């Protein structure tokens, strides 16, 4: 899970390139913001990772 928490704000962060979305004040708003931006959360052996829309496309290409 890569929503970083600073005091009362949550910042969705791409684990791959470090891109960030604007701060949200509610965890679920941050999750919504990721969905609306086309980001994806993927669970692997290390836990949850977030990919921004661009990194998600690259990941798809890599898998082919």
**Shortest Cβ 8–Zn ion spacing (Å):** 25
User: Residues 39 to 58: which contact Zn ion by CB under 5 A?
Assistant: 52, 55
**Shortest Cβ 32–Zn ion spacing (Å):** 18
User: Residues 13 to 32: which contact Zn ion by CB under 5 A?
Assistant: 14, 16-17, 19
- The shares of helix, strand and coil residues in the chain, as percent rounded to the nearest 5, are 30, 35, 35
Record the tokens describing residue 21, joined without a space: 């979305």
Element containing residue 35 per DSSP (H, E): helix 27-36
> Phi first, then psi: what are they for 57, rounded to 5°?
-65, -40
**Shortest Cβ 48–Zn ion spacing (Å):** 15
Interface with Zn ion (CB under 5 A): 14, 16-17, 19, 52, 55
């Amino acid at each position: 899970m890569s929503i970083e928490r600073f005091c009362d704000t949550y910042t969705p962060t791409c684990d791959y390139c470090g891109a960030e979305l604007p701060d949200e004040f509610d965890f679920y708003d941050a999750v919504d913001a990721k969905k609306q931006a086309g980001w994806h959360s993927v669970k692997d052996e290390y836990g949850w990772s977030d990919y921004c829309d661009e990194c998600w496309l690259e990941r798809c290409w890599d898998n082919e």
